[in-house]
Structure 1
Amino acid sequence: MVMCKTILDALERIAPKRLVEEWDNSGLLIGSPAHRTERVLVALDVTDAVVTRAMEKKADMIVAHHPVIFKPLKHIRTDLSIGARIQTLLKHGIAVAAAHTNLDIARGGVNDVLAEAIGLEQVSSFVLTEQHKDGTTESLGRVGALLAPMRIEDFAETIKEALPVTYVRMVKVGERTVRKVAICSGSGAEFIGKAAFLGADAYVTGDVRYHDAQQAMEFGMHVIDAGHFGTEFPIVRRLAERLQHELETVKGEVEILCDDVSHDVFTVV
C-alpha cells in the first residue's frame, strides 16, 4: 500500500503538469494526496461502468485520461449523473486523478502511442505548445511517415485493424498516395488546416464534422476519422504499464489494473 501522492508523483514523471493546457483540469480531482492506495484502475473515462468496476476490483484510486470534473460545478446534485458519481466515489473512498492534455502532449503519451499503433515512423511535432531554448519542442499531435506509400483505402483498413474500433470514416480526395501523415488523438478537426499546411497526405483524428471534411477536401488532403474513443483508448494499457514500471522501486506494494469494460459509445447499424 502506498499514499495517493506516490501515484501522483509517478504520473508527474510520465506526464508533467507543466504541459497542461490552460483550459484543462488535470491532476488530483477527488480525494487526498494522503489517501492510502493499494489498487489503481487506469481508464479513459470515469463512467458509471468504470466506477462499478473499480468497486468490484476494490480499487482505491482511478487514474483517467479524461477529467471526471471538467467544467466548474455550481452544485453537486446527487439526483444528476455527475453528482451521483462523485457521491459514489467519495462513499467508497476512491480517489480520482486525470492526466489529460499533459498526457496528449507528453513523449510516450497518447499521440505517440497512436502513431506507433498505426505504423508511423520519423515522428515529429505537430501543433507546437512550447519551444525550449535547446530547440526541442512540445506539441499536440504528431507528424510521421509510413514505411511505404499506401492507397488511402489500405491505410484506412490498417487503422481499423490497429485500433479498438469496428469502423472508421474516410474522406477520400482523389488518388493521392499516403506517405506523410498528421495525427491528433481525440478531437482534432480544428487542426485540419495545419495538417494540410505541413504537407500531410492524410490526417487521422476523431470527431470530424461535415464542414471539417469539406475543408479537408478543399485542401486536397485525405482524412480518417477513427473516433475519439478509438484514437485514445490504446493509452490505457500503456499508461498502466508505465505506472507499474515507475512504482517498481517504491516502498510499498500497489497493483495497477486496466479498464476492461469500456467501449465506444457509437455503433453503426
Structure 2
Amino acid sequence: MATVKQLYDLLDRKAPFRTQMDFDNAGFLVGRGDRTVTRVLVALDITPEVIAEAAEKGCQLILAHHPVIWGKLGQVTDESATGRKVLALIEKGIAAICAHTNLDAAEGGVNTALAQRLGLENPVPLETDGVDEAGRPYGIGRVGSLPGGPLSLADFARKAKENLGLTGIRAMDAGVPVHRVAVGGGACGSMLPQVKAMGCDTFLTADLKHDLYLEARDLGINLLDAGHYSTEAVVCPVLAQWVREAFPDLEVLEAEGQGEVFGYF
C-alpha cells in the first residue's frame, strides 16, 4: 500500500519538482495526501475522458504530465473546462499529481525516453540547467547519434514515424544527412540556437512555426515536427515503470482514453 504523498515523494526523487520552470504548475494539484492508493492511472493529459476512465477502473490517483490546473484559477465551478475537471476529480475522490517541465528535464524523463525511442546513442542534455540533489545534471532536450552511420532525412522520418506511432510527420530537408540528432519533447522550437551550438544536423520536436523552418534551412539543420502528444507520450510507460518498481503492490495502468487530438485527412 502507498499514499498519494508517498507517490509524490517518488516523483520528487526521480524528477525534482524544484527544477520545474518558473511559468509551470507541476506538483500535487488535487486531492488528499494521506489517502491510500491501490490503483494508479498514468496519462499525458487529465481530460474528462481520462477522469472517467480512472473512475471506472477504480483508480485513486492520476499521474499526468501536463498540469490539470494551468494559470490563475480564481474559482472552481462548472462554468469553465478546468473547473469541471477539478470538480470531477474531487467528486470522484481521485487525486492528481502532474510532473511537467521537471519531467522534461530529468534524466530518464520525457526527453531521455524520446531519444531512446528514436534509437539515439549516448544521449546528453541539449541544454544543462543545473544539478539536482542527487548530483544528476538536468536540462531540456537531448542530443545523440544514430547508430550505424547517417541516414537520409526521408529514411529517418519514416523511422521516427514508425517508432512514435505517427500517421504523418512534417519535415524540412536542409540537404544534409541525418547523424547527430537533437530532440525536444513538446514545443521546443525556441531551442534551435542550442541545436546549432551542439553541432546537430537534425532537430525533432513539435508545434513548429513557419519562421523556424526558414531559420533551420538557413542554418543547414533538418527540422521535423512529430507532434506534441507523440513526442511526450513516450514518458507514460516510464512513469508507470517507476511506480511499479517502487510500489510492487500497486496496480498501475496506462490510460487508454487518450491520444492525439487531431488527425489527417
TM-score, with normalisation over the residues of structure 2?
0.95
Structural RMSD (CA):
1.7
Q: CA deviation at 1:82?
A: 1.2
The structure-2 alpha-carbon separation of the partners of 1:136 and 1:5, relative to structure 1 and needing over 3 Å to count, comes to closer
| Partners of 1:196 and 1:219 within 8 A in 2 | yes
| Partners of 2:202 and 2:221 within 8 A in 1 | yes
Q: Which residue of 1 aligns with 2:32?
A: 32
Q: Which residue of 1 aligns with 2:144?
A: 144
Question: Is 1:158 aligned with 2:163?
Answer: no
Correspondence list, 1:1-269, <5 A: 1-130=1-130, 137-147=137-147, 148-174=149-175, 176-248=176-248, 253-269=249-265
Q: CA deviation at 1:197?
A: 2.4
Q: Distance in 1 between matches of 2:104 and 2:48?
A: 24
- In structure 2, the residue corresponding to 1:150 is in which secondary structure? coil
| Partners of 1:111 and 1:141 within 8 A in 2 | yes
Q: Distance in 1 between matches of 2:235 and 2:125?
A: 18
Q: C-alpha offsets along residues 78-103 of structure 1, whole Å, 9 cap, x if unaligned?
A: 12221111111100100000111111
Matched to 1:231, the amino acid is T
Is the strand fraction higher in 1 or 2?
1
Deviation larger for 32-41 or 61-70: 32-41
The structure-2 alpha-carbon separation of the partners of 1:54 and 1:131, relative to structure 1 and needing over 3 Å to count, comes to closer
Stretches of structure 1 that go unaligned for 5 or more consecutive residues are none
| Partners of 2:213 and 2:223 within 8 A in 1 | yes
The structure-2 alpha-carbon separation of the partners of 1:258 and 1:127, relative to structure 1 and needing over 3 Å to count, comes to same
Q: CA deviation at 1:159?
A: 0.2
Q: CA deviation at 1:37?
A: 1.4
Matched to 1:17, the amino acid is F
| Partners of 2:107 and 2:136 within 8 A in 1 | no
| Partners of 1:49 and 1:261 within 8 A in 2 | yes
Stretches of structure 2 that go unaligned for 5 or more consecutive residues are none
| Partners of 1:181 and 1:200 within 8 A in 2 | yes
Determine what percentage of the aligned residue pairs are the same residue.
35
| Partners of 2:2 and 2:247 within 8 A in 1 | no
Aligned length: 264
Q: CA deviation at 1:254?
A: 2.1
| Partners of 1:165 and 1:230 within 8 A in 2 | yes
- In structure 2, the residue corresponding to 1:128 is in which secondary structure? coil
Q: CA deviation at 1:244?
A: 0.7
- In structure 2, the residue corresponding to 1:32 is in which secondary structure? coil
Q: Distance in 1 between matches of 2:231 and 2:194?
A: 19
The structure-2 alpha-carbon separation of the partners of 1:221 and 1:168, relative to structure 1 and needing over 3 Å to count, comes to same
TM-score, with normalisation over the residues of structure 1?
0.94
Q: C-alpha offsets along residues 30-67 of structure 1, whole Å, 9 cap, x if unaligned?
A: 01211221111010000011001101101101000000
